[in-house]
Amino acid sequence: MKTASLSQLPVELRDGGKPAFWQPVRVTGAVILVILLAFAFAGPLVVGTDPLYQDYLAVLVAPGDAAHWLGTDHFGRSMAARLVHGAQLSFVMAFVTALSAAVPGIALGILAASRGGWVERGLVALSDIILALPGLLLVLLLMAFAPGKFGPLYLGLALYLWVEFFRVARVETARVLALPCCEATRLLGFGPLYVFGRIVLPALAGPMMTLFAFAMGSAIIAVSTLSAIHVGLRPPTPELGAMIVELMPYYSEAPLQVLMPAGVIFLLVLSLQLLAGRKS
């Protein structure tokens, strides 16, 4: 019986199935993300200020002030408090959206590749229909029913992002199932659960984690973009995209206040892109 050489196996199945996580690029992304998460989730304990509290005696205070170490906005609201809650909101929304897209996308991709026939054709046709619609248009259609609410925004993004997980999972599953090692495993009497649990799922782990990081980055950008054009989450919710638009008229007076939420968005997306890395 022909056996699979090491070069034939998926990257995730070589070296005992250990993914090459410890790449400098990925480590850098992980460090940036950990710092941002510490800022977002431990920040409220340090800042301790309501992001909606207004102090009209301290409007557009520059960063470095003793009472407001990152300054205030045009309503006298603490920039530190708003950035902390904005980063937390963006990360949680992106994670929930990506997870809601990944679970059905991967499950349906594996189902399509393993069953084939009309099941695969039907799921591929459904994914093609979703792809025929621009992603933001699908979100806007759902947002029309409840403007400014989290539910339609989350649902629209998840409905669009699951397609990428489905397509990659389907192709990767079909490729792995066609490998000689899978054929040998089946001939030795091991059932489908063993094949999928010990061979297919480990092979999917790397590509799916990469897609998950990209999906989170796409969700962060989409939420910020929609909030910036007054379609997504609306003021006074401390959302990073909405904060940029709110402060833009005061750019000449307080440029740092405008750049800070933009910087948090940039670092969040950058950390996720670096963490996704590449397969070696």
User: pLDDT exceeding 90 applies to what percent of the chain?
Assistant: 37
What contacts 44, CB < 8 A, 6 or more positions away? Answer: 81, 84, 85
pTM: 0.83
Alpha-carbon distance of 171 to 183, in angstroms, equals: 17
**165-203 per-residue burial string, b: 16 or more CB within 10 A, e: under 16:** bbbbbbebbbebbebebbeebeeeeeeeeebbeebbbbb
Calculate mean pLDDT across residues 145-153: 74
> Residue 16 has what pLDDT?
42
Alpha-carbon distance of 198 to 232, in angstroms, equals: 42
SS3 135: helix
Alpha-carbon distance of 72 to 218, in angstroms, equals: 29
Q: Are 239 and 86 in contact (CB under 8 A)?
A: yes
Mean pLDDT of the chain: 83
Q: Are 62 and 192 in contact (CB under 8 A)?
A: no
**Tens digit of each residue's pLDDT (9 = 90 or more) over 126-145:** 988 888 877 777 777 777 77
What is the token pair recorded at 112?
């399509």
> Residue 278 has what pLDDT?
58
Domain 20-276: CATH superfamily is: MetI-like (1.10.3720.10)
Domain ranges of the chain: 20-276
Distance set, CA 218 to CA 69, 89, 91, 150 (Å): 31, 15, 11, 16
Judge whether residue 9 has pLDDT over 60.
Answer: no
> Residue 20 has what pLDDT?
58
Alpha-carbon distance of 243 to 239, in angstroms, equals: 6
Calculate mean pLDDT across residues 87-91: 92
> Residue 45 has what pLDDT?
82
> Residue 15 has what pLDDT?
41
